[in-house]
């Protein structure tokens, strides 16, 4: 397993960020549909470890938005949240799907964006999820986070909410580290950045890391269902507080009326039940590649917990 360098959120534009910035997007902001929306709406997103095909995870939502708004919806792919956020700030991305950490970093660095709604796993659940601290099952001397000290520990990426930021807060509270700075982390344990929640969990399973962190649904369901992990192979030794869910946002430059109407569309019609009933998808209705039923209302205040974790950990990525 190769340790990758820290990716700094909102650092200088990556090649992907430049592609996003050049995507025209709503270049002619005066061009509108009969319904009053921009004639072209650019939706920015990044692939995640649950879906290798970005487009397939968004097709039902894209088709619904095109039908409801009369606009052409273009899906614009980036390799990281920095590219998406830069696109929003430049006015070349109109809507985006962000992790909670990406949203907080964007707002802290001047992105004028409004939550349209956060994804939830089922109609009866509130948005949000948990991160897990995991190790191989059996007696390996790791029973809680205190035992992570001095070990090879798998994280997802330094800009990951559940794969780094919340785990770092747990390690601070357990007295393993004083802060989430790279120097402090490396003094107290041996961090390995796996690049994905699936990769982090599988690295622990395969013995490349003594322990690690991954989102709960990846460990409990996704890897088990696709046959890459057997139940009982990994042992949970820590669970994070509930983390605010990934969310759709819109740039405020679209205008208050358009943002409010998009919010209504996303929270009322961007869900598996409605999309399936209208023929936008059949059987398993993929939404963003996450294990998601649909979108429920969200506000900026819902993400104050992420901001508090940033303050606690002093993580470098939190500074943008």
131: left (phi over 0), alpha (psi -120 to 50) or beta: beta
Residue 118 parent element (H or E): strand 113-120
| 1 within a domain of the structure (yes/no) | no
Q: Residue 1: its pLDDT value, please? A: 39
- Reported as a single tens digit per residue, the pLDDT across 199-258 is 999 999 999 999 999 999 899 988 998 899 999 999 999 999 999 999 999 999 999 999
- Whether the CA torsion 302, 62, 253, 14 is positive or negative: it is positive
Token pair recorded at residue 6: 């820290």
120/32 same-domain check: yes
Token pair recorded at residue 316: 């470098």
271/307 same-domain check: yes
Flag whether the pTM goes above 0.75. yes
Token pair recorded at residue 255: 């205008």
101/31 same-domain check: yes
Strands 72-77 and 40-45, how do they pair?
A: parallel
Bridge partners, 234 (sequence order): 136
175/251 same-domain check: no
**Is residue 149 pLDDT above 80, yes or no?**
yes
Residues above pLDDT 70, as percent of the chain: 86
| 253 within a domain of the structure (yes/no) | yes
Q: Which of 30-34, 151-155, 165-169 has the lowest mean pLDDT?
A: 30-34
150/226 same-domain check: yes
- Reported as a single tens digit per residue, the pLDDT across 93-148 is 999 999 888 899 899 889 999 999 999 988 988 898 899 999 999 878 999 999 99
Q: Residue 30: its pLDDT value, please? A: 64
CATH of the domain at 290: 3.40.190.10
106/192 same-domain check: no
- Reported as a single tens digit per residue, the pLDDT across 11-25 is 333 333 333 434 444
154/226 same-domain check: yes
120/249 same-domain check: yes
Q: Residue 275: its pLDDT value, please? A: 95
Q: What is the mean pLDDT of residues 272-293?
A: 85
Q: How far apart are CA 8 and CA 167, in angstroms?
A: 18
- Band of pLDDT at residue 48, cut at 50, 70 and 90: low
Q: In angstroms, what is the C-alpha Rg of the chain?
A: 20
| 113 within a domain of the structure (yes/no) | yes
- The answer to whether 249 and 113 have CB atoms below 8 angstroms apart is yes
User: Which of 213, 239, 265 is at the close of a domain?
Assistant: 239
Residues above pLDDT 90, as percent of the chain: 61
- Band of pLDDT at residue 46, cut at 50, 70 and 90: confident
- The answer to whether 107 and 114 have CB atoms below 8 angstroms apart is no
- Band of pLDDT at residue 161, cut at 50, 70 and 90: confident
Q: Which domain holds residue 158?
A: 131-239
- Reported as a single tens digit per residue, the pLDDT across 311-320 is 888 887 776 6
Q: In total, how many domains does the chain have?
A: 2
Return the number of other C-beta atoms located less than 10 Å from residue 13's C-beta.
16
**Is residue 56 pLDDT above 80, yes or no?**
no
User: Which of 198, 224, 239 is at the close of a domain?
Assistant: 239
């Amino acid at each position: 397993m190769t340790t990758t360098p820290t990716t700094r959120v909102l650092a200088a534009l990556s090649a992907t960020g430049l592609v996003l910035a050049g995507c025209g997007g709503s270049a002619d902001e005066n061009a509108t549909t009969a319904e009053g929306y921009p004639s072209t709406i650019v939706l920015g997103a990044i692939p995640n470890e649950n879906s290798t095909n970005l487009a397939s995870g968004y097709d039902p939502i894209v088709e619904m938005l095109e039908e409801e708004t009369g606009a052409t919806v273009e899906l614009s792919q980036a390799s990281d949240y920095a590219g998406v956020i830069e696109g929003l700030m430049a006015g070349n991305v109109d809507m985006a799907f962000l992790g909670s950490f990406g949203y907080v970093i964007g707002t802290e660095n001047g992105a004028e964006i409004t939550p349209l709604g956060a994804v939830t796993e089922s109609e009866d659940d509130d948005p949000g999820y948990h991160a897990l601290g995991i190790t191989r099952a059996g007696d390996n001397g790791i029973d809680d986070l205190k035992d992570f000290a001095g070990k090879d520990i798998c994280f997802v990426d330094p800009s990951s909410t559940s794969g780094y930021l919340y785990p770092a807060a747990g390690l601070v509270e357990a007295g393993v580290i004083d802060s989430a700075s790279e120097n402090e982390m490396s003094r107290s344990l041996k961090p390995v950045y796996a690049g994905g929640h699936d990769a982090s969990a599988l690295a622990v399973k395969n013995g490349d890391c003594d322990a690690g962190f991954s989102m709960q649904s990846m460990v409990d369901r996704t890897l088990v269902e696709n046959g890459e992990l057997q139940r009982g192979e990994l042992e949970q030794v820590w669970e994070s507080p509930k983390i605010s869910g990934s969310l759709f946002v819109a740039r405020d430059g679209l205008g208050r009326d358009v943002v409010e109407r998009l919010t209504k569309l996303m929270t009322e019609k961007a869900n598996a039940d409605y999309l399936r009933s209208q023929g936008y998808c059949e059987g398993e209705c993929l939404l963003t590649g996450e294990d998601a039923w649909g979108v429920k209302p969200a506000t900026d205040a819902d993400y104050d917990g992420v901001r508090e974790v940033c303050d606690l950990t002093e993580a470098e990525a939190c500074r943008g």
